[in-house]
Structure 1
Amino acid sequence: MAGRWNLLILALSLSLSLAMSLECPPGFSFEKQKCIDYDECSNDEDYPEEVGPCGENAACFNTFGSFYCQCAEGFRSSTGNRNFSAVTFAICKDINECLVDSGICGLNAKCFNTMPHYSCICDEGFISTNGVERFRHGDNVTCKDVDECREEKVCGQNATCVNTPGSYHCVCNDGFGLKSGKSNFFGNQEQCEDICMIDTTICGNGTCHRVASGLDCACHAGFTNYGNKGSRCTALNCDIFKDMKNLTEKFPVAHDLMMQLKKNCLELTESENPTELDKEDPLTRLLSVIDKLLSSGAINDNTKVSTFLYMVEELMRFIGPFMKPPGTTRFSTHTDVQLLLHKGADLPQGAVTLSSKAKQSRLDILLETAAGDPSYYPGFTTVSLLSYGNLEDFADGFFSGMKSQVEKSYKINSKVVTVTVSNRNTSHLKEPVNLTLYHLTKTNESNHTCVFWDSSVEGGSWSARGCNVVKSTPEYTVCSCNHLSSFAVLMALYEIEDKFELQLITWVGLSLSLLCLFICILTFSLIRSIKSPRTTIHLHLCICLFIATLIFLAGISRTGSRVGCAVVAGLLHFFFLAAFCWMCLEGIQLFRMVVLVFNTSFKTLYMMAGGYGVPAVIVAVSALANAKGYGTEKHCWLDLKSIWSFFGPACVIIIVNIFFFLITVWKLAQKFSSLNPDLDNLQKIKTFTITAVAQLTLLGTMWIFGCFLFEGSNIIISYLFTIFGSFQGVMLFVMHCLFSKQVREEYGNILSRCCAPRKKSYSDLSYSHTSKAHASKSTQDTGESRI
């Protein structure tokens, strides 16, 4: 019985102990009848000693009731968190410090990643400041260059060592070189030898001598290195002087220069090592010849333009190498030239810019382009930019090489320039050159074309082949061309197409105007009863328009003779301007009659001075300033440079007459209201409109349409200008003769005398004229306008 009780007590105690142990929270264990913290980081049989509960490369930290993990230095958890638990399945990965911070090792050193850290090692040619091979950031260690040139004879004889950061190279001394042709070498790879022994052809047609300064080439007879002793000797080419007959015939003034240069060239071919062309400056002499040719007018057709430009290009290329480096800048009456010269055995490189002093042109070119093929490099490079003062006047109009376009013609709008380089193969350049040409006439229209002179097209013409417009502003145009020659910028001009309808209107209108103006001249000169200061103005206006119209019909297209065409243009300029001056006097007289209402007449001398003296002065000044502006390729009229010597005064007169027109229309509107109160409004408007249009026609204000033709081809403006311009004589006859009651009465008397069976006696006729004259004077004294 006692044994059973003992067993029962033992079972109860075990059950109580188990119950108490089951009640401890996680991280605790039941020991000695209580829950105590369990150290999860302690090693046991569940984890290998080198790993632990946190895995590899991680440290375990126990806490009260739990624990956490941290990656070791140089590692980062896969979750990105600093602290993590084993249940997250995070692992610790190595940090690649070389990728995180690319400059962690500093300059001239490479970073190598290790576990768990990294190492820095200096680049080849460098050494650490403390002598250690490996270091880390924070050790206060840097890499410094190793001066390999401190070692004696590192480059051998006849060479110089050049230290570079992390390395070095050897350069041969003057007069020595490498058989490989390289400019430098390392260590004992090669040895520097006498340059004259390495390459026996280095001087070309000359004898090589090694001197202290390097190389000296003594050229044979007929060859030269243009004073650059270190360059190969090339043949002195005198072929450009062989064909003298054509040049002598076209430009006798250039004959003496060509003969002298030919003589100098031949003398140099017979001398040893020639370096100087002539004691006199050949470039100055060439510019003097160009001035004479451009001022004499000898270049008067496209074949002569071609010959002239060819001569200039060849002579500039021939003279250039004999100039002194680095070049020169010259100016004369009609030329502006800048020449750049480089001499040396090495091929020049880099971009250069040449520009004219007068800001007419600018050239941007690579020296490699100017020098040409390195295998044929003669030891010098020349680049020249020559701008002509007035060659555009002689070279204008030759556009057969341009693609024809409807309603468009061309005119040169820049100075003509010639670009010359020592490279003779410039027909197709690898790198195009940029040429900036400034406009002679500023315009907002982007209608400019880059062109060059092509001698192969019909004796010579401007052509756009191989040239493109890079940029165009009102002031200048930038051209890009893949060849070199003489260049210019063309401005497109829009012309009115010669339509049959416009021609018909012009010829019919001018023919009728001639007839009507002739009748007006007879009327105002023979009928004494209507004579007055105002009819005197009418008479001279009709005379000027009659002569101008007659000359226009007879000679506007007579362009065969340049002198005759210029005379026709000058006469048209004078008589049309005179007509405008008489129109101005007409407006002033009308203003005095309608507005001021007093009968103070102009003195005849003043009228003649204003009507003929002013246009004579304008024409004289214009002709002296630009005599070549009279006569164009298609018409005997003013060119664009001189056209404003006509349209300028004409526009001033038109503006003045418009002012008079507005004043007189205002006064006429008042008179219509006061003198005709019984007329209805429609009749007043009709009469007023006819009067206003008549005033506009008589005062020449319809010519303002001609100014708008410069903006482009506008068919409406063209028809308006043609109609009002052609029929102005008819309108003058209608307004001054048919609308004048007094003139109509005189016409009726003349017709009645011609048709009546009995003619009046001389006394009757005199009485009739006298009475009419008194009536006319009475009417004029009132100051009322007949219109």
Structure 2
Amino acid sequence: MPGRWNLLILALCLSFVVVQSSCPRGYSLSRRQCIDDDECAEDEDDPEYIGPCGEHAVCYNTIGSFYCQCQEGFISSTNTKNFSANSSATCQDVNECVENPGLCGPNAKCFNTIPHYSCICGDGFQTTSGVESFHDGDNVTCRDMNECEDENVCGENARCINTPGSYHCVCNAGYGLESGRSNFSGGQELCKVSIPDKCLIDKTICGNGTCHRGAAGHYCACHSGFTNYGNNQSRCTALDCDVFKAHLTEEFPVARDLVTLLKNGCRALTESEDPTELDGGDIMARLLSLIDELLSGKPFKDNRKVSTFLDLVENTLGLIGPFITPPGTTRSTTHTELELLVHMGADAPQGPVTLSSKQARLGIQLETAAGDLSNYPGFTTVSLLSYANLNDSADGFFSGMKPKAKQRFRINSKVVTVTVSNRNTSHLNESVRLTLYHLNQTNENNHTCVFWNSSEGGGTWSDSGCSVLESNSEYTVCSCTHLSSFAVLMALYEMEDKFELQLITWIGLSLSLICLFICILTFSLIRSIQSPRTSIHLHLCISLFIAVLIFLAGISRTESEVGCSVVAGLLHFFYLAAFCWMCLEGIQLFRMVVLVFNTNFKTLYMMAGGYGVPALIVGISALANPKGYGTERYCWLNLNSIWSFFGPACVIIFVNIVFFLITVWKLAQKFSSLNPDLDNLQKIKAFTITAVAQLCVLGTMWIFGCFQFEEGTIAMSYLFTIFGSLQGVMLFVMHCLFSKQVREEYGNILSRCCAPRKKSYSEFSSSYSSRAQASKSTRDTGESHI
């Protein structure tokens, strides 16, 4: 028995060893089962135990194993997210301040910590929430601390001026610093040295005023007609209040209140009164509102009104400039863009400055804007004001220009006004640089820099004192030795009245009149060819006939402005009507050849399309721009209204070309199917003649008229003159001579007129009946005569 128990115990031990040895790595035997080991479990007996992953790492247990990840703010040395304990990876701190330099935002410093970072505001700044440190995403920023709010920060006899992140102190008038510096920080120095009596040292310190010594230093009492703009320590300068006279309100009654306010405020300044009525910001808002009201109406078209308008703007800006808070302001309204720079101080500013708007850019030296330093008023202002549509009112006044032969001008930029505090700007020691962007971009190098001269003939554009430094398709850079209102002019060249062109025009139009008259008789009197399509031919010929007749009779009759406008309106209507009938011609041809419709246009629809559409276009154009009819040389549309003709004409031409290409393609297919034995030369000849003729009928020769607005287009001028003047002849050849049926009718008419004997009534009736039946058959099938 004892031996058996020993054997049993030995077997149990062996089975335990076998089971225990069968658990894989990461598991341990518990009650004869393999249970996962938690390698990440903490050792409660050892509080300093850091775990299998090392410092700054987090252990994550898995079934049969585990893995490690670095804590937030750390990264593994192998740049992997997960790693094992037996790897060489360690967790290193991430320096967020180096990785993201702008992490803390402006006016704050970033300090790296383990494991994170902290943001601390710089000197002179504090957090918006009051906390000492913050992180990105806390919605906290650093704002400037106003040190000047602390009581007596600068001591006695000084005033505090806050700056971003700091401040400085400036001594009051009559006091200064022993070091001679102009400013100091609180606690460093005190303003205790009394300034000597400047009235005795410099007897001209007040200019046109009397110098007095006060407790805080000297002050100036200006003489009548002079002012120092409320700054008693500044030099007194002359101020002309007569510029705000009643004639301003005579030209522009809506400016009455503003002119009265400016006049009263100006008088208060020159009489050493308190200018309480001169609120710079309020007057500027009123001025810009007045400009919007004036420019939102009809263009002035009067050079005296333009001069009065610009004088009012320039004088107002010059008066209110010193009352705008430094460093200035930028404002934009419906019709204006204004940038105003203001500098205050006893010392005149120096160096270049740039002002800009969407349509212009100004470069000027501040010394130029300040003017004579011996009479410096204690402030410097520079303003750039651009107008949205003043160019419409000021266009056309070019008596101050000297154009070349056949040259005329048009404004090609926004009008801008430049003002400075310097009162003497008629001849500057250093020129200003002004960049003006073009309204219409062109590659032609034909731009001129000009200014508005109010003193010549009531007002005109002049290029005196201005030159072009650079010019391309987008902008022109101007250099001017004086200041005023400026613009850029584009030179346009009128087509020369060559005798050859005039001769071609008169001969061609005369032939066209004869041919169109024959066409009108043909389509209206010969009943055998009458159909909806010949009705389109008839009205096309009538429109062109009337247009050509009016052209020959009245195109150059510019003596009467009203009569010339009527001629231009009639030409606009009848030429547009011709284009509309051309469009109906193309649509009808397309329906006949491509769609093979036997139905025709209703007469009412044809009349609405042929005459109603052009009447509508002319009516809208005349209401929108009544001054667009008639030019100085011809009774035709001017450049501002020319596209009310060429726009619809180009649309119709494009539509007709599309129909034309489809029609020619279908005709080519029909030629092949109807004449399979016709060789290639005959095919090409057949539909090429048809194509050219139809292209001419549809008016594509008018495309050459789009090139008549620049110099150097003489070839286009000849092409346009030849094709345009002979359009009536082409219609006659196309629709009469090329039509077999019309030729037969012409032959019958000639034979009846020239034959020695007359046909019997029955013979004539029989032949006429057969022709009428043939004609009816042709109309019903809808085939083209071409």
Aligned-pair CA distance for 1:771:
5.1
In structure 2, the CA distance between the partners of 1:679 and 1:349, relative to structure 1 (3 Å rule), is same
Distance 1:266 1:760 in 2: 105
- Structure 2 counterpart of 1:238, from 237, 241, 258: 241
Aligned-pair CA distance for 1:534:
1.0
Aligned-pair CA distance for 1:732:
1.0
CA offsets, 1:480-517, max 9 Å, x none? 22221211112233432221211222233223323332
Distance 2:342 2:549 in 1: 61
Whose radius of gyration is greater, 1 or 2?
1
Distance 2:768 2:217 in 1: 111
Distance 2:555 2:254 in 1: 35
Contact 1:224-1:275 within 8 A present in 2 as well: no
Contact 1:466-1:483 within 8 A present in 2 as well: yes
Q: Where does residue 339 of structure 2 map in the other structure? A: 338
CA offsets, 1:215-261, max 9 Å, x none? 5444455432212233123343223246x55x566555556654554
Distance 1:254 1:758 in 2: 89
Give me the identity figure in percent: 77
CA offsets, 1:170-208, max 9 Å, x none? x99842689xx9999xxxxx9952334422442334454
Distance 2:662 2:482 in 1: 63
CA offsets, 1:510-552, max 9 Å, x none? 2332333233233323333222121122122223223333333
Distance 1:579 1:676 in 2: 35
Aligned-pair CA distance for 1:722:
0.9
Partner SS for 2:427: coil
Distance 2:359 2:773 in 1: 68
What's the TM-score, normalizing by structure 1?
0.68
CA RMSD of aligned residues (A): 3.9
Contact 1:364-1:435 within 8 A present in 2 as well: yes
Distance 2:699 2:657 in 1: 9
Q: Give matches, 1:236-635, under 5 Å.
A: 236-241=239-244, 244=246, 250-251=251-252, 254=255, 257-258=258-259, 261-266=262-267, 268-272=269-273, 274=275, 276-277=277-278, 281-297=282-298, 299-356=300-357, 359-406=358-405, 408-455=407-454, 458-559=457-558, 564-623=563-622, 626-635=625-634
CA offsets, 1:554-593, max 9 Å, x none? 4434445555545544443333233222212212222222
Count of aligned positions: 608
Contact 2:330-2:338 within 8 A present in 1 as well: yes
Distance 2:779 2:702 in 1: 30
In structure 2, the CA distance between the partners of 1:415 and 1:265, relative to structure 1 (3 Å rule), is same
Aligned-pair CA distance for 1:721:
0.8
- Comparing 714-723 and 680-689, the one that deviates more: 680-689
Tell me if 1:224 matches 2:224. no
Partner SS for 1:694: helix
In structure 2, the CA distance between the partners of 1:205 and 1:451, relative to structure 1 (3 Å rule), is closer
Distance 1:644 1:654 in 2: 14
- Comparing 507-516 and 666-675, the one that deviates more: 666-675
Q: Where does residue 662 of structure 2 map in the other structure? A: 663
Contact 2:237-2:375 within 8 A present in 1 as well: no
Contact 1:177-1:198 within 8 A present in 2 as well: no
Distance 2:560 2:370 in 1: 47
Partner SS for 1:552: helix
1:346 partner amino acid = D
Tell me if 1:654 matches 2:657. no
Distance 2:326 2:763 in 1: 99
Distance 1:710 1:413 in 2: 15
- Comparing 487-496 and 697-706, the one that deviates more: 487-496
The gaps in structure 1 that reach 5 residues or longer are 1-157, 160-170, 185-189
Aligned-pair CA distance for 1:323:
4.2
Aligned-pair CA distance for 1:719:
0.5
Q: Where does residue 31 of structure 2 map in the other structure? A: none
Contact 1:251-1:298 within 8 A present in 2 as well: no
1:472 partner amino acid = S
2:398 partner amino acid = F
Aligned-pair CA distance for 1:737:
2.1
- Comparing 521-530 and 499-508, the one that deviates more: 521-530
In structure 2, the CA distance between the partners of 1:277 and 1:419, relative to structure 1 (3 Å rule), is same
1:199 partner amino acid = D
Tell me if 1:203 matches 2:202. no
Partner SS for 2:502: helix
Q: Give matches, 1:151-230, under 5 Å.
A: 174-175=173-174, 193-206=196-209, 208=211, 216-219=219-222, 222-230=225-233
Contact 2:412-2:490 within 8 A present in 1 as well: yes
CA offsets, 1:72-98, max 9 Å, x none? xxxxxxxxxxxxxxxxxxxxxxxxxxx
Contact 2:219-2:233 within 8 A present in 1 as well: yes
Q: Where does residue 22 of structure 2 map in the other structure? A: none
Distance 1:341 1:559 in 2: 53
Contact 1:172-1:192 within 8 A present in 2 as well: no
Distance 1:191 1:268 in 2: 30
The gaps in structure 2 that reach 5 residues or longer are 1-156, 159-169, 184-192
Partner SS for 1:652: helix
What's the TM-score, normalizing by structure 2?
0.68
Contact 2:400-2:456 within 8 A present in 1 as well: yes
Distance 1:633 1:182 in 2: 69
Aligned-pair CA distance for 1:374:
0.8
Contact 1:370-1:383 within 8 A present in 2 as well: yes
2:374 partner amino acid = S
1:774 partner amino acid = Q
Distance 1:609 1:324 in 2: 64
1:433 partner amino acid = V
Distance 1:662 1:618 in 2: 28
Q: Where does residue 41 of structure 1 map in the other structure? A: none
CA offsets, 1:152-172, max 9 Å, x none? xxxxxx99xxxxxxxxxxx99
